[in-house]
Chains A and B, each alone.
Chain A
Amino acid sequence: MMKHLPAYYTIWHILGYYGLRLTAYLVLGFLMLPILIIVPLSFNVEPYFSFTQGMLRLDPDAYSLRWYEAIFTDQRWTLSIRNSFFVGALAAILATVLGTIAAVGLSSPVMPAKRLITALLLSPMIVPLIIIAAGMFFFYTGFGLVGSFTGLVMAHAVLGVPFVIITVTATLTGFDRSLFHAGVSMGASPLKVFWDVVIPLIRPGVISGGLFAFVTSFDEVVVVLFLAGPEQRTIPRQMFSGLREQINPTILAVATLLIVISVALLVTLEILRRRSERLRGEAF
């Protein structure tokens, strides 16, 4: 059983080895269990957040899809779902377009004030959301952007920008800029070179940046609390007020659906990462 452990290991090493293993699995459990626990609870027939005797006996009558039905029959949830996708998509597009172009500039070795500008563009990730939200509430009010989709999309695009910058810059590191200049010196317009040469190489980074930006918006609630009117309520906003006011398992059903989305996202990101590695392997 301990065959694979090096021969010089003392009893302390061995204890340490298994202790470490045990700790690691416990921590993984701590990370995963709270999320896994939600899934069965969302099928509870009773309006509680806890396992009933029937559920523990695996009695089929103790389980139901009623909370899933409740999502799709409640106008507030359907509106929230629509808004979340709408705002998330627009914010992600805005952040990705502006962020990708900027990242190309930022990764140029001759970019002036690079460190300062990078720090500024990444700061929406660091500044507490409550400050961002309050500031936007004050400033956007003057432009009639509070209680509008435009305001919300802008705000969420700001929050998504750092992720686009990080992922695109990462794919651009090691990118041979002479390819770009060669293209330009051969007479192609910079825009065409950008589109035909640069974009295909950094596409995985751009897509994953866009996905990050989408998820950031999809999961964001503080800014929504301050900027959104009743018309703009999103899934997190609806969950937040549900958790504060009326706790019922509809929220768990929504949470389960969101977990499914996260899994899909993770898989997509993994595929993109592998593609990106392969592409870089071919290009350089």
Chain B
Amino acid sequence: MRYHSKILTTAAMLLASASMVQAERMTVVSFGGAYGAAQNEHMIQPFVEATGHEILFEDYSGGIAEISAQVQAGNIQWDVVDIEVIDLERACSEGLLEVIDHSQLPAGVDGTDAADDFIPDALASECGVGVIVWSIVYAYNTENDGPAPQTIADFFDTETFPGPRAMRRRPQVNLEWALIADGVPAEEVYEVLATEEGQERAFASLDRIREDIVWFDSWSQAPQLLNDGGAAMVQSANGRIFSAIQDDGRPFEIVWDNHVYDLDVWAIVAGSDNVDTAMEFINFATGSEPLAGMADVAYGATRLSSAPFVDPAVNSNLPTAHLDTGLKADGIFWADYGESLGERFNEWLLNE
């Protein structure tokens, strides 16, 4: 008995020291705000507690520029990054991300194999593992006077619905909406946007409301702008508005017409020093339960086995409940055109 307990203590001490040696410090980067808080609660903190690794949890405002700068200059600061699928293809094809072996992802809590448990889009890219299904919508303050906007065309109609519009400062989604507002059917948007005339048309459509646009960089600013009156309508990730309504009791309303839905994935920056720990984190964070936690901010889980952990009351607020009025973001299109349209968009912004 005494002998056994001695072995046990020794083993425990060895284990403890081993885990201390292995404790790594790595940087995980995501979008902050309500979404970041949910990730912190359901993914970061539980992972830190379970493994003893240390995580610096940073915010960024999306896009591939910062990752690209780190890889080009050869000093990698970030390990794991939450990236929108609309940017993922481009980052992946430029070699900015590590390739992830999807076969080693753990099975769901109900025992379903990862390959069958994840929705197909979540594992579509070899560079990422899906975290959420989310949507870019627009929202307005119900306390404002005047008629309630209902469509994307209304968002672009500043005569009937006066007031500043807040939009994220990048071409993605804005150009899609500009075409839809100009009468292009949603299913033809990317086809039209691939042509020179289509691009002209999209920018001309944006031009019509440019005086009324307030630009922001980070999704966190969207609910703030709506709240402090900086904008009458804001483009936003649906979860930010949801949490402003739900948690802060704000009088906001989401418009689901032609929302652009997309996935976010966890990816590993190419050349990271902590690839193994990063993979360990991704395996942990894309487990059934942590994923279900994203429903706190009305983002859909990417594993089917997460469903039992999600409060059914949230379901009607998830993007998946509105797929019939939505447009799927085309990551391949933006991989090809992100560069050209990005430059053109910036020039358009600078042109007075």
Task: Please report A residues at the B interface, Cβ cutoff 8 Å.
Answer: 48, 79, 137, 141, 144, 146-147, 229-231, 241, 244-247
CA distance A230 to B220 in the complex (A): 20
B56 touches A230 (CB 8 A): yes
Give B4-34 as 1s and 0s: 1 = Cβ < 8 Å from A's Cβ atoms.
0000000000000000000001010000110
Contact of A147 among B75, B218, B220 (CB under 8 A): B75
Q: What is the CB-to-nearest-CB distance from A50 to chain B, in angstroms, rounded to a whole number?
A: 8
How far does the alpha carbon of A246 sit from the alpha carbon of B59 in the complex, in Å?
A: 10
Minimum Cβ distance to chain A for residue B70 (Å): 9
CB distance from B33 to the nearest CB of A (A): 6
Q: Which residue of B lies closest to A232 (CB)?
A: B77
Cα of A246 to Cα of B56 in the assembled complex, Å: 18
- Closest CB of chain A to B208's CB: distance in Å? 28
Extra contacts, 11 of them, besides A79-B56, A147-B75, A245-B33 (Cβ < 8 A), are A141-B73, A229-B75, A230-B56, A230-B58, A241-B59, A244-B61, A244-B217, A245-B61, A246-B32, A246-B59, A246-B224
Partner of B32, one of A48, A146, A245: A245
Number of interface residues of B (CB under 8 A): 19
Whether the pair B220, A246 counts as a contact (CB closer than 8 A) is yes
Partner of B78, one of A48, A146, A230, A246: A230
Cα–Cα, bound, A245→B222 (Å): 10
A229/B77 in contact, CB under 8 A = yes
Q: CA A48 – CA B223 in complex, angstroms? A: 13
Q: Is the CB of A246 within 8 A of B228?
A: no
User: CA separation between A245 and B35, bound complex, in Å?
Assistant: 13
The 6 A-B pairs at the shortest CB distance, nearest first, are namely A229-B77, A245-B218, A246-B220, A230-B27, A146-B75, A230-B56
Q: How far is the CB of B18 from chain A (nearest CB, A)?
A: 25
Question: Is B221 close to A, CB under 8 A?
Answer: yes
CB-based contact A245/B220 at 8 Å:
yes
Residues of chain A with a CB closer than 8 A to B220's CB: 245-246
Q: How far is the CA of A248 from the CA of B58 in the complex (A)?
A: 17
B217 touches A141 (CB 8 A): no
Q: Is there an interface contact between B74 and A245, defined as CB atoms closer than 8 Å?
A: no
A241-B57 Cα distance, complex, nearest whole Å: 14
| Inter-subunit contact B56/A245 (CB<8 Å) | no
Which residue of chain A lies nearest to B217 when distances are taken between CB atoms in the complex? A244
| Structural contact, A245 and B75, CB atoms closer than 8 A | no
Q: For the complex, what is the distance from the CA of A144 to the CA of B75, rounded to whole Å?
A: 7
Evaluate contact between A246 and B73: CB separation under 8 angstroms: no
Q: Tell me which of A146, A230, A241, A244 contacts B73 (CB under 8 A).
A: A146
Contact status B73-A137, CB under 8 Å: yes
List the B side residues contacting A146 at CB < 8 Å: 73, 75
Interface residues, chain B, with chain A CB atoms under 8 Å away: 25, 27, 32-33, 56, 58-59, 61, 73-75, 77-78, 217-218, 220-221, 224, 228
- 5 CB-based A-B contacts, threshold 8 Å: A137-B73, A230-B77, A245-B61, A245-B217, A246-B218
A137 vs B69: C-alpha distance in the bound complex, in angstroms?
11
Q: Is the CB of B75 within 8 A of A141?
A: yes
CA distance A244 to B224 in the complex (A): 12
A237 → B minimal CB distance (Å): 11
Quick one: closest B residue to A145, CB to CB?
A: B75
Shortest beta-carbon distance from B52 to chain A in Å: 16
How many Å from the CB of B44 to the closest CB on chain A?
11
Residues from chain A with a CB closer than 8 A to the CB of B228 are: 48
From residue A247, how far is it (CB to closest CB) to chain B in Å?
6
Residues of chain A within 8 A (CB-CB) of B218 are 244-246
Question: How many angstroms from the CA of A97 to the CA of B70 in the assembled complex?
Answer: 34
Tell me which residues across on chain B come within 8 A of A141, comparing CB atoms. 73-75
Most buried by A among B27, B59, B75, B217: B75
- Measured between beta carbons, the chain A residues less than 8 angstroms from B59 are 241, 245-246
What are the residues of chain A within 8 A of B78 when measuring CB–CB? 230
Which B residues are in CB contact (< 8 Å) with A79? Answer: 56
Partner of A231 from B56, B73, B74, B221 at Cβ < 8 Å: B56
Q: How far is the CB of A164 from chain B (nearest CB, A)?
A: 30
A85 to B73, CA, bound (A): 28
Cα A231 to Cα B76 in complex, Å, equals: 12
Chain A residues whose CB sits within 8 angstroms of the CB of B33 once the complex forms: 245-246
Report chain B residues within 8 Å CB of A247.
221, 224
CB-CB nearest in chain A for B33: A246
With CB as the reference atom, state the residue of chain B lying closest to A229: B77
Q: How far is the CB of A133 from the nearest CB of chain B, in Å? A: 13
Find the B residue at minimum CB distance from A48: B228
Q: How far is the CA of A245 from the CA of B78 in the complex (A)?
A: 19
Q: Taking the nearest CB of chain A, how far is it from the CB of B13, in angstroms?
A: 29
Give the docked Cα–Cα distance between A137 and B72 (Å).
Answer: 12
Once the chains are docked, how many angstroms separate the CA of A241 from the CA of B217? 11
* Cα separation A60 to B158 with both chains bound (whole Å): 43
Closest A residue, CB atoms, query B54: A75
Query: What separation, in Å, do the CA atoms of A247 and B221 have in the docked complex?
Result: 8
Q: Inside 8 A of B74's CB, which chain A residues have their CB?
A: 141
Give the residue name and chain of the B residue nearest to A227 (CB).
B75
Shortest CB distance B222–A (Å):
11
Q: Is there an interface contact between A245 and B221, defined as CB atoms closer than 8 Å? A: yes
Q: What distance in Å separates the Cβ of B4 from its nearest Cβ neighbour in chain A? A: 41
Q: Which residue of A lies closest to B76 (CB)?
A: A147
Residues of B close to A241: CB separation below 8 A: 59
The distance in angstroms between the C-alpha atoms of A241 and B218, with both chains bound, is: 10
A246 to B217, CA, bound (A): 11
Bound together, the chains give a CA A229 to CA B27 distance in angstroms of 10
Inside 8 A of A48's CB, which chain B residues have their CB? 228
B32 contacts A147, CB within 8 Å? no
**Shortest distance between the CB of A215 and any CB in chain B (Å):** 27
- A245 / chain B contacts, CB cutoff of 8 Å: 32-33, 59, 61, 217-218, 220-221
CA distance A146 to B220 in the complex (A): 28
